[in-house]
């Protein structure tokens, strides 16, 4: 099992509230900027997309790749981050 980054731990530790997309694990400045341009300016909007895709890993990864050009690792990080958050708070 891969270890989780500090960013992941921080995100999963509490309700996301109004955190920006940059707070998501795997999403840095560049990707965050791209997501914001597409209208996904807050973490909860990305969460919304994640849920609409029924928390499906492949679809969400695909969507992430299409929307902001995330690579495999970034996709994985973001996906597991959101999934774990949902497990705790949803």
Partner 1 sequence: MAQFHEDPALLTKEKLKSELLANNVPLPSADSKKDVYVQLYLKNLTVLNKKNTSAPAPDTFSSDEEMTAPLLSGRSRSGKKATRKTDRVRPVENDISGLTDEELKGQLMKYGVLSGPIVASTRKVYEKKLQQLLEQPPLESSLPEPETTIPEALTIKAGGNQNGNTHSAEEQYSDKEEEVGPVPEPVPVVSKPVRSRGKTPVTVRTSSRQRTKQQVEETATDTEETVDGGDILKEIFPNEPATPTGITVTCRKPIRGAAGRPVKPLSLWSEESLQQQNTYTVTKSSVTDVRSATPAARPRPRRWFAFWLKLLVFIALAASLYYAFQYVTTDQINACQLYVQDNVITPIANYIRWETPAEGGDDK
The residues that touch partner 1, with contacts defined as CB under 8 A, are 1, 49, 52-59, 62-63, 66, 83
Cα 60 to Cα 76: distance, rounded to the nearest angstrom: 10
Cα 79 to Cα 64: distance, rounded to the nearest angstrom: 9
Q: How far is the CB of 75 from partner 1 (least distance, A)?
A: 11
Q: How far is the CB of 83 from partner 1 (least distance, A)?
A: 7
Q: For 20, list phi and psi in degrees, rounded to 5.
A: -80, 170
Q: How far is the CB of 63 from partner 1 (least distance, A)?
A: 5
């Amino acid at each position: 099992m891969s270890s989780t980054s500090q960013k992941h731990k921080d995100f999963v530790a509490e309700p996301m509230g109004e955190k920006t997309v940059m707070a998501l694990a795997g999403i840095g400045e560049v990707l965050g900027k791209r997501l914001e341009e597409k209208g996904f300016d807050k973490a909860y909007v990305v969460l919304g997309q994640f849920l609409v895709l029924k928390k499906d890993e492949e679809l969400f990864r695909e969507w992430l790749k299409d929307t902001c050009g995330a690579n495999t690792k970034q996709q994985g990080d973001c996906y597991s981050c959101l999934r774990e958050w949902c497990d705790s708070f949803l």
